[in-house]
Amino acid sequence: EPEVTQTPSHQVTQMGQEVILRCVPISNHLYFYWYRQILGQKVEFLVSFYNNEISEKSEIFDDQFSVERPDGSNFTLKIRSTKLEDSAMYFCASRLTVATNTGELFFGEGSRLTVL
C-alpha cells in the first residue's frame, strides 16, 4: 500500500543550527502538508503546498521555516536557526485532492526533532 515516508526518524541538533526534514509523499498525490506535534499537545497545522507553491500557512510558519519540492518527489521542511521550542514531532502528509469526498489525508511516521 502506498505510504508517506519521512527521514530522518529522529534528529538531534544544537540551538541555532539549521535542519532539513525530508518527505516522500504518495506518488500521485497533489497536496502536501507539514504538521507538528509538541509532546503532550495537539497536532498543529504548519503549511500546505500545491502546484509548487505555498497555498496556506499558519501563524507558526514564520520566516524561520521554508518548504520546497526540489525534484518532483521529495518535499522538504527547512528550519533555520532552531530554537528549543522547535523540539517536536514533525509530520508530513499528502492527499490526492481537497474535495470533501476524496480528501483523505495520509500521514508519514514523523521526524522527531530535539533541539538542545
From candidates 48, 82, 87, 94, binder to another protein by CB under 8 A? 48
Closest distance to another protein from the beta carbon of 88 (Å): 13
Closest approach of Cβ 47 to another protein, in Å? 9
- Shortest spacing between CB 18 and another protein, in angstroms: 24
- Our finding on whether 108 is near another protein (CB under 8 A) is yes
Comparison of 44 and 65: residue with beta carbon closer to another protein: 44
**Can you say whether residue 81 is alpha, beta or left, with left for phi > 0 and alpha for psi between -120 and 50 degrees?**
left
Handedness of CA 45, 37, 99, 27 (dihedral sign): positive
Name, in order, each residue with C-beta under 8 angstroms of 23's C-beta and a sequence gap of 6 or more: 4, 5, 6, 7, 32, 34, 74, 75, 76, 77, 92, 108
The residues that touch another protein, with contacts defined as CB under 8 A, are: 4, 6, 31, 33, 35, 41-45, 48, 55-56, 58, 91, 93, 98, 100-101, 103-110, 112
